[in-house]
């Protein structure tokens, strides 16, 4: 998954799960589930479920720990209208007192099929024109049973005329025509584990494009958008996505899916998303997310990241993050591999595919390294601790984020695996690289259908040693488990560059800012000077712990009203920082805090500071070797495109 701040409401209480031996439920016949999305524009899903049962006590459950979310985010609170019937009679139910996801019933004598109806109130990933549907919103199945052992026959109904995109296998041969009014699309029998891993997008404006047709198995991108023009992706971006398929095939030299579908929503309403699955990925960006260079750069690593997860996260998964049900808590200690290595490989593949240039890759890397180096929370907690605590760090309050640390295992992992990659290149004279490790660790030298092969820290070390012998256990331990006051800059330096600060934002930041507010652009970034991140209206998002603004007593949530006698604007603030350079007069602010107003004085005189990478002449240029395409695709054309 991509880094997202999720609603604090999703941070459900950590529940202890009591495993009680219950009568085994006969599962010879599949559960039948019909997901009805025809009310999607009204933010409601409905479902009818028929379950094979035997008389006696029965416990059914909805999923709690959703793979890829790294937290207990199952939508139990949004499930409503639950009614159980059998032989025409309504059956009473009672929620479990401890595990609030569970329903207890008693099945009467003579009953072999139980019918359940439930609705789900949908809070994201829907608009008037499209929906991205994950099956956990409507799933109900026997508790305390491995989900891979529960067969299920899925069907779906969508609004009339809406197209369907999914990696699921149709019940009969053929693809997914636009369904007629009231039509139900049936899929082949699968199991609950695989069904949860098989999202569906649907929308009025739907396009499906084949990617890199020369590569087997087949790859597609399915697009739904709020605007028909956006759904018809421009040729250059489709060429880049085809290159992504070629580059991933060359890098991993394997696949672990029968078919792969990138599912993409383009909507300002349906929200951002990046969720990995074995044979597909659920990707959500803004309506104009890939409409031009500036927007594309901001989203460049999304599809490469989620695609990489098919290998790193889905096929190979830390043993602690794989549970046979969706009720046992997942353990995130190795998320610096699951997400951190994916973050690194996603950025590398983005550059190799032409979604970003080598220079843009370096600019974004400079931002990452500087941001981590200026995260004072690293003085008290290790990177491993951010992974162990992932489920409570996801979402929540952004205030003092830099002192608490967030899900730093993503970006720390990017620097770590760059360090490992350049170290392997250095030790082998650039004959070997992390690419060789990925073929061993993620490929296992075989092509398979979707499956999960868990791993431990020791296997990671063994596979690194198979590429080049080194004390990899200590290497990883020092960087991830220890407190490190500074970010790991070794990869950048071994790669032939150094991190510097200049008085102008780097080219990639300037381009992304042109796309307006968003994940990487927008707002006012004075983090490396006075230590503030602000909105365009002066609202303070965060204050750098022990930085100049912190020493001046500013706090997140306050709002800057005026600077040096002038009403706040981003330009006025930046001009004030420049004017104070080399002088002795403080920068004077008027700040609103709740219903009060204060004056504050920031004693700072070093001018504006923005991160960039500077080439070290004479050093091997491994950084640019790393971002050079492996396959013989249209790299020159991609370079020309960027030069326009």
Which residue ranges make up the site for Zn ion (CB under 5 A)?
1, 339
Tokens of 164: 């369907």
C-alpha span between 521 and 514 (Å, rounded): 8
Smallest distance, Zn ion to C-beta of residue 413, A = 10
Closer CB to Zn ion, 315 or 622, in the complex? 315
Half-sphere exposure of 87 (CA within 13 A, CB side): 8
Smallest distance, Zn ion to C-beta of residue 13, A = 25
C-alpha span between 74 and 10 (Å, rounded): 8
Smallest distance, Zn ion to C-beta of residue 308, A = 8
C-alpha span between 208 and 233 (Å, rounded): 10
Contact 527, 512 (CB under 8 A): no
**Prior bond to 579 cis, omega within 30?**
no
Closer CB to Zn ion, 293 or 384, in the complex? 384
Smallest distance, Zn ion to C-beta of residue 566, A = 43
Contact 130, 161 (CB under 8 A): no
Closer CB to Zn ion, 283 or 382, in the complex? 283
Closer CB to Zn ion, 257 or 604, in the complex? 257
Tokens of 213: 């047709």
Closer CB to Zn ion, 295 or 309, in the complex? 309
> Residue-wise over 514-534: b if at least 16 C-beta within 10 A, else e?
ebeebbebebbbbbbbbbbbb
Smallest distance, Zn ion to C-beta of residue 349, A = 13
Closer CB to Zn ion, 339 or 634, in the complex? 339
C-alpha span between 236 and 218 (Å, rounded): 20
Contacts by 427-434, CB closer than 8 A, 24 or more apart:
427/468, 427/470, 428/468, 430/620, 430/622, 430/625, 432/467, 432/468, 433/625, 433/626
DSSP one-letter string for 246-296: HHHHHHH-----SSEEEEEEE-SSS--EEEE-SSEEEEEE-TTTTSSHHHH
Smallest distance, Zn ion to C-beta of residue 338, A = 7
Strands of the sheet with 260-266, listed across from one edge: 205-211, 219-225, 260-266, 280-285, 273-276
Closer CB to Zn ion, 305 or 378, in the complex? 305
CA distances from 609 to 429, 512, 587 (A): 35, 18, 16
Closer CB to Zn ion, 1 or 460, in the complex? 1
Closer CB to Zn ion, 165 or 304, in the complex? 304
Coil, helix or strand at residue 539: strand
Smallest distance, Zn ion to C-beta of residue 346, A = 8
C-alpha span between 359 and 156 (Å, rounded): 45
C-alpha span between 160 and 581 (Å, rounded): 63
Length of the chain in residues, anyone? 644
Closest CA to 140 of 70, 181, 93, 188: 93
Smallest distance, Zn ion to C-beta of residue 110, A = 49
Closer CB to Zn ion, 247 or 339, in the complex? 339
Smallest distance, Zn ion to C-beta of residue 410, A = 7
Mind spelling out the 3-state secondary structure of 375-429?
A: CHHHHCCCHHHHHHCHHHHCCCCCCCHHHHCCCCHHHHHHHHHHHHHHHHHHHCC
C-alpha span between 237 and 209 (Å, rounded): 11
Closer CB to Zn ion, 2 or 378, in the complex? 2
Smallest distance, Zn ion to C-beta of residue 386, A = 14
Residue with the closest Cβ to Zn ion? 1
Smallest distance, Zn ion to C-beta of residue 49, A = 30
Smallest distance, Zn ion to C-beta of residue 306, A = 7
Closer CB to Zn ion, 67 or 611, in the complex? 67
């Amino acid at each position: 998954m991509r880094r997202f701040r999720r609603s604090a409401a999703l941070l459900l209480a950590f529940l202890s799960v009591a495993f009680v031996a219950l009568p085994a439920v006969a599962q010879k016949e599949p559960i039948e589930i019909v997901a009805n999305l025809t009310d999607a524009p009204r933010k409601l899903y409905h479902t009818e479920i028929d379950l094979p049962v035997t008389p006696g006590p029965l416990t059914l459950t909805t999923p709690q720990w959703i793979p890829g979310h790294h937290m207990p985010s199952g939508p139990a609170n949004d499930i409503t209208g639950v009614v159980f019937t059998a032989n025409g009679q309504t059956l009473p139910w009672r929620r479990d007192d401890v595990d609030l996801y569970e329903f207890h019933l008693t099945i009467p004598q003579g009953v072999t099929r139980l019918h359940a109806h439930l609705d789900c109130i949908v809070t994201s990933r829907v608009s008037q024109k499209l929906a991205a549907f994950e099956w956990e919103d409507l799933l109900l199945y026997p508790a305390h049973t491995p989900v891979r052992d529960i067969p299920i026959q899925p069907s779906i109904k969508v609004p009339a005329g809406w197209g369907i995109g999914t990696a699921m296998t149709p019940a009969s041969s053929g693809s997914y025509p636009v369904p007629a009014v009231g039509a139900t699309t049936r899929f082949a029998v699968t199991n609950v584990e695989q069904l949860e891993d098989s999202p569906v997008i649907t929308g009025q404006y739907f396009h499906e494009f084949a990617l890199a047709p020369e590569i087997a198995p087949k790859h597609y991108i399915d697009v739904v958008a709020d605007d028909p023009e956006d759904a018809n992706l421009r040729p250059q971006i489709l060429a880049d996505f085809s290159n992504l398929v070629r580059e991933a095939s060359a890098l991993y030299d394997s696949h672990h899916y029968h078919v792969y579908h990138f599912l993409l929503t383009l909507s300002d309403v349906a929200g951002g998303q990046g969720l990995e699955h074995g044979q597909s990925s659920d990707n959500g960006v803004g309506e104009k997310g890939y409409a031009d260079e500036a927007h594309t750069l901001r989203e460049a690593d999304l599809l490469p990241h989620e695609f990489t997860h098919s290998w790193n996260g889905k096929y190979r998964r830390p043993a602690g993050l794989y549970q046979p049900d969706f009720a046992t808590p997942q353990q995130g200690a190795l998320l610096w591999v699951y997400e951190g290595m994916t973050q690194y490989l996603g950025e590398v593949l983005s550059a190799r595919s032409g979604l970003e240039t080598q220079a843009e890759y370096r600019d974004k890397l400079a931002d990452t390294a500087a941001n981590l180096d200026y995260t004072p929370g690293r003085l008290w907690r290790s990177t491993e601790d951010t992974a162990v605590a992932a489920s409570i760090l996801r979402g929540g309050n952004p205030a003092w984020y830099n002192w608490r640390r967030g899900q730093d295992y993503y970006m720390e992992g990017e620097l770590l695996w760059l360090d490992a990659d350049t170290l392997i290149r250095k030790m082998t004279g650039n004959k070997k690289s992390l690419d060789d490790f990925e073929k061993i660790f993620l490929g296992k030298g075989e092509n398979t259908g979707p499956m999960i092969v868990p791993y431990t820290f020791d296997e990671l070390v063994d596979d690194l040693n198979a590429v080049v012998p080194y004390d990899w256990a200590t290497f990883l331990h020092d960087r991830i488990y220890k407190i490190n006051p500074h970010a790991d800059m070794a990869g950048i330096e071994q790669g032939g560059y150094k991190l510097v600060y200049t008085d102008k934002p780097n080219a990639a930041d300037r381009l992304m800012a042109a796309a307006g507010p968003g994940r990487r652009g927008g707002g006012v970034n004075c983090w490396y000077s006075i230590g503030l991140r602000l909105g365009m209206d002066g609202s303070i998002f965060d204050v750098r712990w022990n930085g100049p603004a912190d020493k001046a007593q500013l706090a997140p949530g306050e709002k800057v009203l005026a600077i040096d006698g002038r009403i706040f604007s981003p330009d006025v603030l930046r001009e004030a920082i420049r004017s104070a350079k080399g002088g002795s007069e403080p920068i004077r602010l008027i700040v609103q805090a709740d219903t009060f107003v204060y004056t504050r004085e920031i004693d700072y005189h070093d001018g504006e500071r923005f991160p960039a990478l500077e080439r070290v002449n004479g050093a091997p240029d491994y950084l640019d070797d790393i971002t050079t395409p492996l396959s013989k695709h249209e790299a020159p054309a991609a370079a020309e495109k960027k030069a326009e």
